């Protein structure tokens, strides 16, 4: 039986019910083939008419100049396509650790995910990170083992790594036919058919036939394992299996779907996206096994005033509840990416932002296809759309109806670990710089900007060297703003080595009124990662309870800037141990200032020291160069945690202070004749 491109697609069907929507993300380590998989999906569903290749800089989803130059995904791109009468809305996410926030924001609003794994590298470090992010948001997943045509490809090794590293329960639905340069197709274990692709049609046609005799025994063994695994999580299949009754294809698919949505199993498929093999069955699996908005529990929000829990059901007649998960500046206009959970949005209507207590008008609603857009009059629940017209609303904020206000859970953001100083080259650049930085910060919550009080320089802080490089590049390309850039600087934290106590008295006249407040604070160090906390041990006759919150506020605000180099102070307990109050003279101003002054004095006395950002580093090197690489990491103050072998490479796990990792990629390439690679992500703040 021969199938052709677009098989099962009803191209006339534009509007779909909630049951037919699939909101999915493509997630993986850098260079596992996410964007290539997405390009093939768009081609075979008829959404694009030419396959764009990442290495040629022509991928539809990598459309920004920086992405095309570097050959990597930097921003999450949203698109949609149709397959088997289902509307699939796809977010292609970055794999580089510097852009993890893009993955986090996308997973927050998705119903399902496709994890792409390289058959040679298996589960790589960033794969683990994005998989855990998906677990955090309870996102059902299917896995696609890619690059089975590559030398060293090991399908079963990659599945084993999923069990070991991701603590996943993989369910093998396909077996590869051949391997490396002989890889030709897959065996479908549900239908017990062999699928081979036609190279002459770029994989658009494929043949489904009986399994070849040499593969029959292996296929039967893995079909048995598949049914056993499903029987463990599904009573109906278990009953049929134990009574040796025949299990129909429909009942098996239904059981796998339920187990996938319930996060009990992860269906595993395989192929080679670059060689155009395996994509159509992957599309079938997305439709068959990943949930629609109607399959997942309604998202819960809170009433902004009463705190009452509100369920947002995916029904058009319900009040609007939508989350802004990304903001982009395109040609100077603000485009907000929104996931609608319940209700509907209509062009020209007002929506309400409960965080800012403001109404906003929807001037346009857009269906997104990477950097192309189609106008829509209305969007219903389950839709992921672009919205133009929101002036004040930003990433992570909720849009709802003013009559039924609701707060959806905020998106968490990461703290920046590296910074550079930027200064404009000309007066006209100076005028544009603040405006441009404001736009970048609206787009990217992990980018922070501050003015250095001593030098007057503007300090940009971000998630890594590449993150800041891209920001500087975009300043020049998109906004024609030229800047001089200083060397990257590490963003430290400060803490204390010893307990310290200080007393401060505020006793003066301000604006014709006398103010008095005396505060005694004791600061003591806490274990790493504990955070800051405040408590009071004073009696009410010393300081009335009404002033305790303002003393806490004054103390905590003073911890935002330490006495050594002005970095935030962490892991410190502030204890209010004493103080006094003069009747009728005590005021919030006096106690706030006293608390701040006492805190600063105690910080200076408490033997403050700097905490370095400590990075989790994994270096992938050929065995012949292992000694040199370990020696280099040791010289950078690194601690080697583990070394293990992985498909012809040695993987060295180490923790290293970020300050010592500048220029490491060049050093590693030099030490390994260009064959070594590494990944690095933030682990914790600690003493190096």
Q: Would you say residue 480 has pLDDT above 70?
A: yes
Please report which confidence band the pLDDT of residue 5 belongs to, taking 50, 70 and 90 as the band edges.
low
Q: Would you say residue 439 has pLDDT above 60?
A: yes
Please report which confidence band the pLDDT of residue 505 belongs to, taking 50, 70 and 90 as the band edges.
very high
Instruction: Determine contact, residues 484/423, Cβ cutoff 8 Å.
Output: yes
Please report which confidence band the pLDDT of residue 66 belongs to, taking 50, 70 and 90 as the band edges.
very low
Residue 35's φ and ψ, nearest 5 degrees, are: -70, -35
State the pLDDT at residue 94.
Answer: 61
State the pLDDT at residue 405.
Answer: 92
Q: Would you say residue 7 has pLDDT above 50?
A: no
How many CB atoms lie under 10 A from the CB of residue 488? Answer: 20
Average pLDDT of 624-640? 91
Please report which confidence band the pLDDT of residue 77 belongs to, taking 50, 70 and 90 as the band edges.
low
Give the separation between CA 559 and CA 82, rounded to whole angstroms.
53
| More reliable by pLDDT, 267 or 675 | 267
> Could you read off the pLDDT of 577-591 as tens digits, one per residue?
999 888 778 888 999
Instruction: Determine contact, residues 273/36, Cβ cutoff 8 Å.
Output: yes
Average pLDDT of 210-237? 92
State the pLDDT at residue 496.
Answer: 94
Length in residues, the chain: 688
State the pLDDT at residue 671.
Answer: 87
> Could you read off the pLDDT of 371-430 as tens digits, one per residue?
678 888 999 998 889 898 888 888 788 999 999 999 987 666 666 767 788 888 887 777
Please report, for residues 592, 593, 599, 603, the alpha-carbon distance to residue 577 in angstroms, rounded to integers and kept in the order given: 16, 17, 12, 16
State the pLDDT at residue 198.
Answer: 83
State the pLDDT at residue 11.
Answer: 38
Closest to 543 (Cα-Cα) out of 598, 603, 600: 598
Share of the chain above pLDDT 90, in %: 37
Please report which confidence band the pLDDT of residue 141 belongs to, taking 50, 70 and 90 as the band edges.
very high
| More reliable by pLDDT, 562 or 453 | 562
CA 282 to chain CA mean position, Å? 23
State the pLDDT at residue 74.
Answer: 47
Share of the chain above pLDDT 70, in %: 88
For the ranges 69-78, 307-316, 387-396, which has the lowest average pLDDT?
69-78
Average pLDDT of 219-225? 94
| More reliable by pLDDT, 32 or 436 | 436
> Could you read off the pLDDT of 529-565 as tens digits, one per residue?
889 999 999 988 888 889 999 999 999 999 998 988 8
On the CB side of 371, how many CA atoms lie within 13 Å of its CA?
Answer: 12
State the pLDDT at residue 413.
Answer: 61
State the pLDDT at residue 59.
Answer: 44
Average pLDDT of 216-235? 93
Query: Whole-number mean pLDDT of the chain?
Result: 84
Give the separation between CA 177 and CA 183, rounded to whole angstroms.
6
Q: Would you say residue 76 has pLDDT above 90?
A: no
Name 205's Cβ contacts closer than 8 Å, sequence gap at least 6: 2, 3, 4, 5, 197, 198
How many CB atoms lie under 10 A from the CB of residue 392? Answer: 11
Closest to 688 (Cα-Cα) out of 614, 584, 619, 606: 614
State the pLDDT at residue 346.
Answer: 92
Q: Would you say residue 3 has pLDDT above 60?
A: no
Please report which confidence band the pLDDT of residue 9 belongs to, taking 50, 70 and 90 as the band edges.
very low
> Could you read off the pLDDT of 172-196 as tens digits, one per residue?
999 999 888 889 899 999 999 999 9
* Segment of 201-210, 211-220, 332-341, 393-402 carrying the highest mean pLDDT: 211-220
Please report which confidence band the pLDDT of residue 144 belongs to, taking 50, 70 and 90 as the band edges.
very high
State the pLDDT at residue 497.
Answer: 93
Please report, for residues 63, 145, 467, 491, the alpha-carbon distance to residue 617 in angstroms, rounded to integers and kept in the order given: 30, 25, 18, 18
| More reliable by pLDDT, 231 or 31 | 231
State the pLDDT at residue 171.
Answer: 95
CA dihedral 329, 335, 339, 343 (to 10 degrees): 160
Vertex 565: Cα angle to 563 and 569 (nearest 5): 60
State the pLDDT at residue 512.
Answer: 81
Give the separation between CA 206 and CA 4, rounded to whole angstroms.
7
Average pLDDT of 224-232? 93
State the pLDDT at residue 332.
Answer: 63
């Amino acid at each position: 039986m021969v199938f052709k491109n677009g098989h099962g697609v009803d191209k006339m069907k534009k509007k779909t019910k909630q049951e037919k929507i699939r909101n999915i993300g493509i997630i993986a380590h850098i260079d596992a083939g996410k964007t290539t998989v997405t390009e093939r999906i768009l081609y075979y569903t008829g959404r694009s008419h030419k396959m764009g290749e990442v290495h040629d800089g022509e991928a539809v989803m990598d459309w920004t100049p920086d992405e095309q130059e570097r050959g990597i995904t930097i921003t999450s791109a949203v698109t949609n396509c149709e397959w088997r009468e289902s509307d699939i809305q796809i977010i292609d996410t970055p794999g580089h650790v510097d852009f993890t926030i893009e993955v986090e924001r996308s997973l927050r609003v998705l119903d399902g995910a496709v994890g792409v794994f390289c058959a040679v590298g298996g589960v790589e470090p960033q794969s683990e990170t994005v998989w855990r992010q998906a677990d955090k948001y309870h996102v059902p997943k299917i896995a696609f083992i890619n690059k089975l045509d590559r030398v060293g490809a090991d399908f079963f090794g990659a599945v084993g790594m999923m069990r070991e590293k991701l603590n996943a329960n993989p369910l093998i639905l396909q077996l590869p036919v051949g391997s490396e340069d002989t890889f030709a197709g897959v065996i479908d274990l549900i239908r017990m058919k062999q699928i081979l692709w036609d190279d002459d049609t770029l994989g658009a046609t494929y043949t489904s036939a009986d399994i070849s005799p040499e593969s029959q025994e292996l296929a039967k063994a893995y079909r048995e394992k598949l049914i056993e695994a499903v029987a463990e999580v599904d009573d109906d299949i278990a009953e049929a299996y134990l009574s040796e009754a025949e299990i129909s294809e429909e009942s098996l698919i239904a059981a796998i779907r339920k187990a996938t949505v319930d996060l009990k199993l992860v269906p595993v498929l395989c192929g080679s996206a670059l060689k155009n093999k395996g994509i159509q069955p992957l599309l079938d699996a997305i439709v068959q096994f990943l949930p629609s908005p109607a399959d997942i529990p309604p998202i819960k929000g809170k009433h902004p005033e009463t705190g009452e829990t509100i369920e947002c059901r995916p029904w058009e007649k319900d009040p609007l509840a939508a989350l802004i998960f990304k903001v982009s500046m395109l040609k100077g206009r603000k485009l907000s990416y929104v996931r609608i959970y319940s209700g509907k949005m209509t062009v020209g209507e007002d929506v309400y932002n409960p965080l800012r207590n403001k109404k906003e008008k929807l001037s346009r609603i857009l269906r997104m296809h990477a950097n192309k857009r189609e106008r829509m009059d209305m969007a219903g629940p389950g839709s992921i759309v672009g919205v133009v017209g929101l002036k004040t609303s930003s990433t992570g904020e909720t849009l709802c109806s003013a009559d039924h206000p609701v707060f959806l859970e905020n998106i968490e953001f990461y703290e920046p670990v590296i910074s550079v100083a930027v200064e404009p080259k000309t007066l006209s650049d100076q005028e544009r710089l603040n405006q441009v930085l404001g736009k970048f910060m609206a787009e990217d919550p992990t980018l922070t900007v501050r003015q250095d009080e001593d030098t007057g320089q503007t300090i940009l802080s971000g998630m890594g060297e590449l993150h800041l490089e891209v920001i500087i590049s975009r300043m020049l390309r998109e906004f024609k703003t030229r800047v001089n850039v200083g060397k990257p600087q590490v963003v430290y934290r400060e803490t204390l080595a010893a307990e310290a106590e200080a007393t401060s008295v505020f006793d003066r006249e301000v604006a014709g009124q006398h103010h008095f407040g005396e505060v005694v604070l004791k600061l003591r160090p806490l274990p790493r990662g504990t955070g800051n906390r405040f408590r009071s041990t004073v009696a009410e006759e010393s300081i009335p309870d009404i002033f305790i919150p303002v003393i806490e506020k004054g103390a905590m605000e003073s911890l935002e800037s330490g006495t050594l180099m002005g970095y935030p102070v962490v892991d410190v307990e502030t204890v209010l141990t004493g103080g006094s109050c003069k009747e009728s003279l005590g005021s919030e101003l006096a106690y706030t200032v006293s608390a701040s002054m006492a805190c600063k004095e105690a910080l200076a006395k408490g033997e403050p020291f700097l905490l370095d950002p400590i990075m989790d580093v994994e270096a992938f090197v050929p065995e012949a160069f292992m000694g040199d690489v370990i020696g280099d990491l040791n010289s950078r103050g690194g601690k080697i945690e583990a070394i293990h072998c992985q498909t012809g490479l040695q993987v060295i796990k180490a923790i290293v202070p970020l300050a010592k990792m500048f220029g490491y990629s060049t050093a590693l390439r030099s030490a390994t004749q260009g064959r070594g690679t590494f990944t690095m992500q933030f682990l914790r703040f600690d003493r190096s």
